[in-house]
Amino acid sequence: MSELDAPVTALKGVGEALAAKLGRLSIERVSDLLFHLPLRYQDRTRLTPMGTLRAGQEAVIEGDVTASDVVKGRRRSLLVRLRDGSGIISLRFFHFAPAQQQQLRSGVRVRAFGEARAGATGLELYHPEYQLVPLRQDGSEPPVDEHFTPIYPTTEGLHQPRLRALVGKALGMLERDPGGLPEVLPETLRQRFALPGLQQSLALLHQPPPEADMEQLDAGRHPATRRLALEEMLAHQLSLREVRLRIQQDGAPTLTDGRGLQARFLTQLPFALTGAQQRVLEEITHDLARPAPMLRLVQGDVGSGKTVVAAMAALAALESGCQAAIMAPTEILAEQHYRAFKAWLEPLGIEVAWLAGKLKGKARLDAKAAIADGRARMVVGTHALFQDDVHFQRLGLAIIDEQHRFGVHQRLALREKGEAGGLTPHQLIMTATPIPRTLAMSAYADLDVSLIDELPPGRTPVKTVVVSDERRPEVVQRIERACDEGRQAYWVCTLIEESEALQCQAAEVTSDELTAALPALSIGLVHGRMKAAEKAEVMARFKDGELDLLVATTVIEVGVDVSNASLMVIENPERLGLSQLHQLRGRVGRGSTESFCVLLYPPPLSKSSRQRLGVMRDTTDGFRIAEKDLEIRGPGEVLGTRQTGLAQMKVADLERDADLLDSVSAVATELQGNAEASSVLIRRWLGDAAGRYGQV
Ligand code: ADP
Ligand code: MG
């Protein structure tokens, strides 16, 4: 074992208290210090002539004191004037000891480091770090730093010099024992992608030489940073791939039957499957017949008909003697699936069970009992299905809808539900968030991807208009007209997303206003703070056509399906991401009548907002919108990576390093067979959480 693998307490001078502080920075082992990279740097490697200094610049200057006075301004301060051959600058101290004035007297030479600010006397350094420079006989000067000074992310009570010293020690160990942190990227790969070595990269990032490109370093574009970023992304990807391999070694029930139930189901549907639905279904059918668990992501734009595909897959499980479960991220959506599956499957003699967090008491016990003894063949619910006390008799297929709302962990948790029976269920994951290919490879490296790239026929694309709030009365009239014609409408209130309470309040106010303005209409309200049963009731009344207008918060974003609704008004659309707007808009245009979406913005609209809303007006293609969204907001937001685990990366930044993703995939493929290299990388970057994607 290398010294680098030892706990930090193995370092001289690191006791329990310091180790605890380091622990707060996730530094447990000596080698963790090496991966604790600077946030930024200071350049103390050269003296900057005063005359060239600009406000805001951090620099080392050196000059002779020409005056040293205590001045009375708003606050008393010690003002020390310095001069070098190129200009004049002042040092200002608000806290000072009398001895300091004496020390910094006229005639002495001072070297100082700080940030130049525009002050009362021209450029000033407030409370700089400084030292006196003895005038030497031979005219020689004390040396400047040999490398840039790293500024680390730190925690209370742990100062930069201390961290620097610790990292310095770790670097020294690495130099003596390079094998302690093995280079696992093969030479050929490093050459191909022009990547510097590991040890070299770490040394450079902690102690950049004066000739290093500071701008590149600050921007995270230095080859050394990129090498580490690539390695980290690689570790994540290898870890996901490993999970996949591990899962695929488990046995899965072969679900080869299904044709009987599927045929009966299809004759009962009022439409035929689209070509894309059929193709994806074939891919799924192929997977289900194998004795290893399917891990498949079905991507399909809003309204492309993923639910029917899910139902067909479920029937294969059911007819093969297994249970199937479908899980949705919100209760509204789960409830809607429950109704759909009941309507579809009960005529075929299949019992459908419902399980959500809000289901309590006897109803809950009954549902769990039916799931455990196998009376319930098809189970629909929310993430309540993950809970420990839920046992399946024989789960053959787990379907997860709108996966981007769930994290990797939750996605993997459902599979354990089947493991009790010695089987790992097949997994079908469905999402309407179109994910550009490179991102999909990275975020879902463990999944096969199918694409429903066709909408059912007869859909008229939603027409989108961007309208100023000044024209609100016209918009209200338009709703009245649509409802008079027997259509239904949504009015979506959005507000600052973090404040659900405010959002709900706004929806209540709007609902009251619209009720007053449109007395002839029956208007319902649904928001996130209502009880699930209340929400479900309102949704049901809207679906049954009892309500003309539904005022809602963004809770209706995902999956709600009312085909008679042909008008949607979205307030403050500039506050939402494009993909979210696209999801919302997908609630209309589900029938064959022409549908409209009104983006009602409060003027004035910024240039970038206008541009974004323009994208919504000009296209209904989910992929184009996703690409624009990606351009504008970056992958973290688009993928909701806070949940997927990708956000916890130390060096890599999916946005900044997106151009590396292709290389990452290529390298991952080459390294996959190399068990040792993979495990070193995974442990290095995912640490003790290694395999966390696997053990949920
Ligand atoms: P999403 O992919 O957004 O989940 P849904 O599964 O909710 O879409 O389907 C949207 C609507 O399209 C539903 O009303 C569904 O019954 C209908 N639908 C699905 N497939 C077809 C098809 N092949 N032809 C016509 N309508 C379809
Ligand atoms: Mg859906």
Ligand nearest to the CA of 326: 2
Report the atom number in ligand 1 closest to the C-alpha of 304.
2
Residue position matching structure tokens 């549902």? 367
Task: List the single range of 405-419, 563-577, 620-634 with lowest mean pLDDT.
Answer: 405-419
Nearest CA, atom 5, ligand 1: 305
Residue position matching structure tokens 């993928």? 639
Residue ranges matching CATH 3.40.50.300 in the chain? 463-619
Distance 621 CA to ligand 2 centre (A): 17
Distance 572 CA to ligand 2 centre (A): 25
Task: List the single range of 47-51, 92-96, 629-633 with lowest mean pLDDT.
Answer: 629-633
Residue ranges matching CATH 2.40.50.140 in the chain? 50-144
Domain over 50-144 is classified CATH 3.90.1150.10:
no
Tell me: pLDDT of 285 over 60. Answer: yes
Distance 339 CA to ligand 2 centre (A): 13
pLDDT for res 419 = 59
Banded pLDDT at 338 (limits 50, 70, 90): very high
Distance 517 CA to ligand 2 centre (A): 33
Nearest CA, atom 9, ligand 1: 305
Task: List the single range of 11-25, 203-217, 234-248, 261-275 with lowest mean pLDDT.
Answer: 234-248
Q: Give the pocket of ligand 1 (CB within 6 Å).
A: 271, 273-274, 277, 300, 302-308, 432, 456, 559, 561, 563, 590
Nearest CA, atom 4, ligand 1: 306
Report the atom number in ligand 1 closest to the C-alpha of 590.
11
Q: Quick check: helix, strand or coil at residue 183?
A: coil
3-state helix, strand, coil in the chain (%, to 5): 45, 20, 35
Distance 499 CA to ligand 2 centre (A): 26
Across the chain, mean pLDDT equals: 86
Best of 269, 271, 273, 308 for a ligand 1 pocket test (most atoms within 8 Å of beta carbon):
308
Helix or strand (DSSP H, E) at 277: helix 275-288
Pairing of the two strands 488-492 and 565-571? parallel
Nearest CA, atom 26, ligand 1: 456
Q: What is 463-619's CATH number?
A: 3.40.50.300
Best of 271, 298, 399 for a ligand 1 pocket test (most atoms within 8 Å of beta carbon):
271
Report the atom number in ligand 1 closest to the C-alpha of 458.
25
Distance 432 CA to ligand 2 centre (A): 7
203, 150 Cβ separation under 8 angstroms? no
pLDDT for res 240 = 80
Distance 590 CA to ligand 1 centre (A): 8
Three-class SS string for 331-382? HHHHHHHHHHHHHHHHHHCCCEEEECCCCCHHHHHHHHHHHHHCCCCEEEEC
Convert 209-239 to b/e letters by CB count within 10 Å (16 or more is b). Answer: eeebebeebeebebbbbbbbbbbbbbbbbbb
User: CA 322, CA 375: separation in Å to the nearest integer?
Assistant: 11
Banded pLDDT at 691 (limits 50, 70, 90): very low
Banded pLDDT at 662 (limits 50, 70, 90): confident
pLDDT for res 688 = 58
Tell me: pLDDT of 18 over 90. Answer: yes
